[in-house]
Every structure is written in structure tokens, then in C-alpha cells.
Chain A
Amino acid sequence: MKKTLNRTFLIIGVLLLAAPLFMGPYAQSVARSVLMYLMLAISWNMLVSSGQLSFGIAGFFGLGGYASTLAIVYLGMPPILSLVFAFILVGAAAWLLGLVALRLRGMYFAISTLALAEIFRVIIHNWHGFTGGPNGKLLPKLIFDGASVPTYLLMAVLAAGTIAFSMWFRRSKFHFAVTSIRDNEIAAMSTGINIYKTLLMVFAVTSAVQGLVGASFANMYGFVTPESSFNMNYTLLPLAMTLLGGLYTTWGPVLGAVLLGIVGEYLKLYIPYGHLIVYGIIIVLVILFMPNGIVGLSGKLLNGFEARKKGEVQL
């Protein structure tokens, strides 16, 4: 049953990914932002699977954007290479910061990541000579000269790669290590898992993905500023999407990002100020009434059907 479910999702996913190609530039730009949030949501979900709550998505997102932009402006890097550069740089930065921050747990770690995001913003805001200060930096030209189809294809490839990575992750031994760390650290330690190293790895890789997304965002829109690149939205939206779709699954964040991404586009049109309140409300309601999200709920329903088919009565 789980296999068929996965396969159906896969087919629907490929169709959805291909669909905007035939629907004109507006659909493609909406789809691009959906894919962007999708990658952020998946990466955040992978870290949360280890029980570490990060509020620093916006920080690594902005850092990636700045890394790519500055590499293009000062080093003349080709855009694609600058994405790779941002991925590596943010990963390395997260690894170094993780060396310290991952000594912390629970609320201390969560607040430290919130503070880290703010630290990045303040440094970039004040380093006028190098980062352009509050005015930010402009890119000389957009990626693929701003052509809609290749840009969308690039995002689709990155998103498919992230999803594939997340699926591989869920089958690898990392997943078991990470889940056991979330459930009980002492038990995990006594089965021989190096908790610190595992968390460090997951933290670095997921942050690098967030940096990559930030870099591609900067290349798509051609500018970075401290206020837009480190915007709280990039933390809030992936959180709401993951929670609505279902924590600790691959398809939860995907589903949540597609749903909320499209709904969000309409909200933006009708409520220009304060449409983010919807995401806040979703977070609160999901945590209170549906902590496993849509995927968890549908999984429960499916299991119920299975049991009924087999003649087991289950309530």
C-alpha cells in the first residue's frame, strides 16, 4: 500500500512539474516560487526529523543569496557555478556554526538559530563596502538572461533533486540514526550512534540546500538586500507548509508547499498587507488539532481501510 501511494505521488509530481511548461510565464513564475518554498520545507523537515528545531531558514537563505551575488559581482563567476559556490559556502558556514550550536538542545538551539539569522542580517547590513549595506547589490544580469522556461527547468531540476535526496535520506541509515536521536538520545547513543557528528552532517547539508535556494532566488530576481533576503517569510512559510502537509515525511512538505504556495499567490493579490496571518493561523491550528498533517491523517485513514478489508475491526 505504501509503495502504491509513493508511486502515485511520484507520477502526480512529475505531471505537476511538467505542467507549468505549457502554461505561460505567469504560471511558471508561480510554480518557481512554489518549488523554492518546497525545497526550503523539505530541508527544514529533514533537520526537524532529528528533533532539532531551527528558526534560521531565512538566515541561510539570505546568506546563500549574498554568497552567489557577491561571487558573481566580484569574481565574475558564471551564475550556475555561483549556485554551487553558495551551496558549498553555506554548508561550510553551517558546519562551523553547528560545531557550537549543536551542543545545545530544544529551546536553546531554536533561539540560537533565530539569533544566528539575525546576526547574518546585521553583519551584511553594516558591512557597507563589501555587501552594499542596506541598499543591497544588483546582479549584472539574470540567470539565462531572465528567460522563463530554462529558469523554471533549473528550479524543477533542483526541486526534483531535493525530493530525491529526501527520499534517499529516508531509506538510508541516517534516517534511522536521526529518528532515534529524536526519540531518545541516550538510547541512540548506547546503540553506537555518534549523535554530534550525525546532527552536524544533517545541519550542514540542510542549511546548504537552503543556501542554494537563496542563491537561485537571487539569480532569478537579480538583486539582494538585507531586508528582502533575510525576510522572516522564508522561515514562516516553509514551517507552515511542512506542518500542514505532515512532519517527518517527504511528501508532507511537498504537498504543503504546493497547496499553500498556490493559495498564497491568491492571498497576496487579495490581502496585500498581512496575508502572512493565514500561515500563522495554519501553524497554530495544525499543531493543536492535526499534529501529523494531511499526510499523517490520510495515512491513518488508509490504514483504517486496509484493516477493514482484512476484516479487522479497528476504531
Chain B
Amino acid sequence: MRQNKAVIGSAVGFIGVMIIILLIAKPSALIFGIQRAGLYAAIALPMALVLGIVHIVNLAHGEMMMIAAYLTYSICVAFGLDPLVAMVPTAVIMFFVGMLLFRFTIRYALKAPELNQLILTFGLAMVLSQGINLLATSQPRKLSVDYVTSSATIGNVSFGTYDFIFLAVAVIFLTGLMLFLKKTRLGKAAMAVGQNPVGAQFVGINVISTYTIIFAIASAMLGIMGAFFITKMSIFPTVGGAYTMKSFCLVAMAGIGNLPMVLLSSLVLGISESAVQSIPGGTGWSPLVFFGLIIAVILFRSYAKTAGVK
């Protein structure tokens, strides 16, 4: 617990210092960083849910979002819908895609060694991204929607306002999930299964179907995110890979099973990434900062853990 407080403290401190520096040096980078953070958090939250309850690292996480984005794209092209309307069928379809994926593949690896689970989901990620490559080629695709270009100006800083929608989605996801896990019967059951599957089974909870529903809910959330993703970004078959790693990094930083901390860790990542990008010539290097952060965070977490065991 004390360690957790230290983590929260250092995260808040880091964000505070960065905000002050950026406010003075480059306010637009700060706004951009916060919007980024929203995007990252919204994508990472489903992974946090799956990791916290099903205890599976889904290396196909980003690829599932990519699939959802392609799904939205094709629905929009086929029926001439707005992506934010096409979100509804996408989410429903993704719910069932997740359910099927879990039922027919991941379920059988639940009892297998962790190594097998990782290889399995890595294989799934490859199947998904190469499947899209086969069906839709690697040509980037984009939907042009007019409302995403809206902007606002404060003082002499102008910025896009639409991107704040990612932050809003992240907050809605988080509150929705917290309410679901704390208040509903199914959510409470899921919490119990996440804490102790054997014990949960003893008190009469169907563990496998709880896992399935949680995985399907996470997939539906990715479906929603995929629809938001395509309104702003262009998509191609390998677009998801980076988000898998980013999401894992954020969840590891937040601590597995700690959903609200995901929002905070996204702020750290988003702001520091956009800070590096705002340095002239730093754009190409910004992924490096992110990967450095991944490794630093993972190391810190694991050292803290082994120290705690002793």
C-alpha cells in the first residue's frame, strides 16, 4: 500500500512538473499531450479489465481495435453512415467476435503455462493483422469527417477541440466499468473471479462464462474505440501493434487490477511523449522515449515486487 502511494505521488509530481514546464514553454504541446493521454487510456482500459479479471495478456489487443476500425470503415462505406453511428453495430459485432475468440481459442490456454498464452495471443495478433492485410491490402485508409477539424483558441494558442472526445470516452469507460464492477451482480461476480477463481467457483459462480462475458465486454469497448479511432487517424493492418505495447505499459504502470490509475499513467505517457515531440527534431525519437518508459516502469514494478516478497 505504501508503495502504491509512492507511485501515485511520483506520478502526480511528474505530471505537475511537466505541466508547469510545458505551460511556460509550449502550451499547445500540453493540450496535445492531454488529448493523447485520453486516447491511450481509452484503449488501455479494456486491457486492464481483461488482465485484472481473466489474467491473460492479450497480445492481440491492438489488433482487435484495428479490426473494429476496419469494421467501422466498411460499414460507413457500405451504408454511408457516420462513424459515430456505425459505432453501435461495430460494438455489437465486436462483442460477439470477442466471445468467439475466447470460447474457441483463449479458453483452452487458461490452464496452460503463461508462455503458451503469450504465444497464442501473439499468433492471434498475427492472424488478425495479416488477415486484414490479405482482405484489404496494406494501403492506409481514412474516413474524412468534417466535425473533427473544429478548433478553439485560448490566448494565442489554438488547438483542435474534437480530440478531447478521447478523454471523455476514457472517463466514461472508467466510471462505467467502476459502476459495473461495484454495483451489478455480474460485476461483483467478475471481481470475485478475478481475485480467486477457485473460491468463486465454490460459491457457485460460473468462472468460464464470467471470463467470456468480461472478455466480450472488453472487445465491445475496443469496438467503440475503433470507431472513434477512425474518425481521426488513418488505419492500416499493423496500426494496432504499437497500441498493444502502449496499453500493456500503461496497465503495468498502473498496477494490474487498478483501473483508475490507468488514467494517471496515461497522462504521464501522453504528456512526456508530446513534450519530446515539441523539441525540434524530436518527432522521430518520441517512440524511443515511450519504449524507454515501458522498460523503466516494468523494471521498477518488478524490483518493487521482488523486494516486497523478501
Contacts and interface: CB of A to CB of B under 8 A. Distances in A.
Interface residues of A, number: 44
A194 B80 CA distance: 63
A283 B122 contact: yes
A106 B116 CA distance: 11
Interface in A74-127: 100-101, 103-108, 110-112, 114-116, 118-119, 122-123, 125-126
A30 interface: no
A104 B138 contact: no
Interface stretch (A11-19, A169-177, A205-213, A269-277): A269-277
Interface in A135-169: none
B284 A125 contact: yes
Given A100-B299, A104-B299, A114-B245, A53 B118 contact: yes
A301 interface: no
Contacts of B291: 115-116, 118-119, 122
A66 interface: no
B1 interface: no
B130 A287 contact: no
Pick the most buried of A51, A126, A283, A287: most chain B CB atoms within 10 A of its CB. A287
A291 interface: yes
Contacts of B292: 119
Interface residues of B, number: 44
A297 interface: no
Given A48-B115, A243-B119, A287 B109 contact: yes
Nearest to A274: B134
Contacts of B245: 111, 114-115, 118
A280 interface: yes
A287 B124 CA distance: 11
A279 interface: yes
Contacts of A111: 57, 245, 248-249, 252, 294, 298
Nearest to B125: A280
Interface of A: 48, 51, 53, 55, 100-101, 103-108, 110-112, 114-116, 118-119, 122-123, 125-126, 232, 236, 239-240, 243, 271, 273-277, 279-284, 287-288, 291
A236 B125 CA distance: 11
B263 to A, nearest CB: 21
A288 B299 contact: no
A62 B248 CA distance: 25
Contact of B295 (A107, A112, A236, A283): A112
Contacts of B125: 280
Given A114-B245, A274-B134, A288-B108, A283 B119 contact: yes
B120 A283 contact: yes
A291 B118 contact: no
A241 to B, nearest CB: 13
B131 interface: yes
Nearest to B128: A280
A101 B109 CA distance: 26
B126 A115 contact: no
16 contacts: A51-B115, A53-B118, A101-B295, A103-B306, A104-B302, A108-B252, A114-B245, A115-B291, A115-B294, A122-B285, A239-B119, A274-B135, A276-B126, A284-B120, A284-B123, A287-B112
